Chains A and B, each alone.
Chain A
Amino acid sequence: MKAAVLVFPGINRERDMARTLKLVSGSTPNMVWHAEHELPAGTDLVVVPGGFSYGDYLRCGAIAARSPIMDAVRSFAGKGGLVLGVCNGFQILCESGLLPGVLMRNENLKFICHDVYLKVERSDSPFTRGYNAGQVIRVPVAHGEGNYIADGETIARLEGEGRVMFRYSSPDGMIDPNWNHNGAINAIAGIVNDKGNVLGMMPHPENHVEEAIGRTDGRGLFAGLTEALEKVA
């Protein structure tokens, strides 16, 4: 794996992400500053980490989405390169047009910072091959704007094409408004683009990868990605 972790002013989860990528894949990722115009040669995974790029000014992710490096990411994704966006990274991917829809203010207006349960909808994607379809994983969220919405036509397409990868669920995998923490439409926690090579998700799988933390549910995502990339190489 030759991952590139993008760094924007105000991002604060890039080191958690880099640490997890190294821990699970064995390779140290490149940290790539937003003002760069190109990704390092040989990059096979771009990760847009979480945080508060530009202090969430204007709209979450709006300013970061217009930075020079994002043109390189768009062209990388256009050629089928794998892109993972977590939390603010998901917001940045939506604002940049790489993923449809937007992440609105949480329905209850509160910043939510605790573990959630996610139902993994499918396992036949490079991002979720480390899990079984229908499996429930427990990972943390930390966001004020994670309430996913798009127009009806887009939602119908996402659902029809099986592009919802993760949904907020109960511990036993039931989709229930009581477990849909931010009010996202259809309890959507993570989606992929039409080609399936760009994933955005609000929860932080990178924070549950070590026994010392108490849970390793997030590891499957990075282990699956490592496997998928080794297969290609």
Chain B
Amino acid sequence: MFPARRSDSYGKPPIMKARVTVTLKTGILDPQGKAIEGALRSLGIDGVASVRQGKVFDIEIEGGDPKKAEALLKEAADKLLANTVIENYDVKVLG
């Protein structure tokens, strides 16, 4: 039998859920969004004025300090998740 792992049941740090949304900056051409826009129109979904495609990252953060989590996620977005030449990002710690 496998030995029980103590850390499985308790003593773990709390986990916070967070969401980072990455979107293209205004004025940057989005050929994928345009293609989706065209597909929606061809499906007969009327009233769509425009589509811009982006990315959503659902991230779990260890620890219970939302301020620290937000700073960490901003660093993650600046360093990797977004290319700030063409993209904006938004960080939300959901708790």
Interface 1/0 per residue, A85-112 and B, CB below 8 Å: 0000000000100001110111111000
- A107 and B31 in contact (CB under 8 A), knowing A58-B80, A66-B79? yes
Residues of A within 8 A of B32 (CB): 105, 109
- A105 and B85 in contact (CB under 8 A), knowing A62-B80, A66-B79, A66-B80? no
Interface of B is mostly: helix
What is the CA–CA distance of A150 and B84 in the complex, to the nearest angstrom? 11
Q: Say whether B86 faces chain A, with CB atoms less than 8 Å apart.
A: yes
Residues of B within 8 A of A150 (CB): 85
Tell me which residues from 26 to 59 in chain B have a Cβ below 8 Å from any Cβ of chain A: 28-29, 31-32, 35
Tell me which residues from 50 to 92 in chain B have a Cβ below 8 Å from any Cβ of chain A: 79-81, 83, 85-86
- A109 and B85 in contact (CB under 8 A), knowing A58-B80, A66-B80? no
Nearest opposing residue in chain A for B86, CB measure:
A102
What is the CA–CA distance of A62 and B14 in the complex, to the nearest angstrom? 30
Closest Cβ of chain A to B74, distance in Å, is 17
Pairwise interchain contact B31-A102, C-beta atoms closer than 8 A: no
**Among candidates B29, B35, B80, B81, residue contacting A149 with C-beta atoms closer than 8 Å:** B29
Q: Say whether A2 faces chain B, with CB atoms less than 8 Å apart.
A: no
Which of B28, B81, B83 is most buried by chain A, counting CB atoms within 10 A of its CB? Answer: B83
Residues of B within 8 A of A34 (CB): none
Residues of B within 8 A of A58 (CB): 80-81
Tell me which residues from 179 to 216 in chain A have a Cβ below 8 Å from any Cβ of chain B: 183
**Among candidates B29, B80, B81, B83, residue contacting A107 with C-beta atoms closer than 8 Å:** B29
Residues of B within 8 A of A101 (CB): 85
Nearest opposing residue in chain A for B85, CB measure:
A102
Pairwise interchain contact A149-B28, C-beta atoms closer than 8 A: yes
Pairwise interchain contact B83-A102, C-beta atoms closer than 8 A: yes
Closest Cβ of chain B to A122, distance in Å, is 25
